[in-house]
Amino acid sequence: MAEAERIIGTPDIPEAAGAEPERSVPGSDATAAGTSDGTTSDASDGTAAAEPAAESDGAKDVKGAKGASEGADGESGGAVAGTSGDAADGADADGPKDKGKRKIAVLFAVAVFAYALDLISKMIVVAKLEHHEPIEVVGDLLRFNAIRNAGAAFGFGEAFTVIFTCIAAGVIVVIARLARKLYSLPWAIALGLLLGGALGNLTDRLFRSPGVFEGAVVDFIAPKGFAVFNLADSAIVCGGILIVLLSFRGLDPDGTVHKD
């Protein structure tokens, strides 16, 4: 018997072959798979959800930055526009005043020039020509001949010296009042000539003999066949002619033009 068993061989025994293979517990694989799938799905879903969220946050940041930039640009543009508008308003508000000041400066510059020219010429005539023979400038057509004139321009009305003195003073006052509303350059020149001429003759009326308000004006320009006059008379006549021309053209001292 023992010999027979030896010849035939003994059957394999699981314990002898090795450890018993593991038995899978029903549902464990499914559970593990479910857990794995759930974890993967959750991770995937979380990643997928995080990506849009990140994209959304990034888009919001970009939009916010763009909005801030646009807001800054708008504020900057508004500030620039406001500054430009204020500057324009200031220029419009200050423009007429500055323009009027320039015209007044022109008026007084012309007046000072005419007055100084008349005063210097009379001083030279009194010092060099008075009580001397006339000087022929253009033959018999024009001579320098110093005389004393107690009347108005060109020797008229010698009996009304005081009246002419008052008229000259009144003209100066009127011109000074008109200067406040002066915005026309031609009018500034015309009034400057009148003012300088009036001041030149008024100085003679006040400070030359025979006395205050009765002083005789120094004349020395003597054209042939015409009354003797001085540079102050010339300035007054030129200013008056210019005023007449401006009036015919419809130009007012304030710069407006009207057509009647």
Residue 125 within any structural domain of the chain: yes
**In one letter, which amino acid is 231?**
L
Quote the percentage of the chain above a pLDDT of 90: 33
Looking at per-residue pLDDT, the higher value among 131 and 26 belongs to 131
Place of tokens 């321009």: 153
Task: Give the C-alpha separation, 169 to 94, whole Å.
Answer: 33
Does the pLDDT at position 229 exceed 50? Answer: yes
Q: Nearest Cα to 191, choosing from 109, 98, 95, 97?
A: 109
Residue of 12, 219, 252, 260 with catalytic role: 219
Q: Which residue has the higher pLDDT, 149 or 112?
A: 112
List the one residue out of 64, 208, 69 whose CA is nearest residue 150.
208
Q: Is-catalytic flag, 219?
A: yes
Separation of alpha carbons 66 and 60, rounded Å: 10
What is the rounded distance in angstroms from the CA atom of residue 161 to the CA atom of residue 232? 16
Nearest Cα residue to 232 out of 129, 96, 111, 68: 111
Asked if the model's pLDDT at residue 15 lies above 50, the reply is no
Number of structural domains (the chain) is 1
Which of the residues 94, 233, 252, 254 is marked catalytic?
Answer: 233
Band of pLDDT at residue 98, cut at 50, 70 and 90: confident
Q: Which amino acid is at 9?
A: G
Q: Kindly report the pTM of this predicted structure.
A: 0.62
User: Does residue 233 carry a catalytic annotation?
Assistant: yes
Cis status of the peptide bond prior to 210, with omega within 30 of 0 = yes
38 within domain boundaries: no
Query: What percent of the chain clears pLDDT 70, i.e. is strictly above it?
Result: 58
163 falls within a domain: yes
- 109: Cβ contacts below 8 Å, ≥ 6 apart: 192
Taking each helix axis from N to C end, the angle separating 28-128 and 185-207, rounded to the nearest 10 degrees, works out to 40
Question: Residue 180 gets which letter from DSSP?
Answer: G
Instruction: Please state the rounded mean pLDDT for residues 111-125.
Output: 96
Does residue 177 fall inside a structural domain?
yes
pLDDT tens digits, residue range 57-88? 544 454 444 444 454 454 444 443 444 444 44
Average pLDDT over residues 184-208: 93
Q: Is residue 258 part of a domain?
A: no
* Per-residue pLDDT, 180: 84
In a domain, 123, yes or no: yes
Range of the domain at 126: 95-249
Q: Which residue has the higher pLDDT, 36 or 195?
A: 195
Considering only CA atoms, give the Rg of the chain. 56
What local confidence, expressed as pLDDT, does residue 162 receive? 74
pLDDT of residue 22: 46
Residue 189: the pLDDT is 96
Q: Give the whole-angstrom CA distance, residue 22 versus residue 33.
A: 18
Residue 27 lies in a domain: no
The answer to whether position 74 is within a domain reads: no
Mean pLDDT of the chain: 72
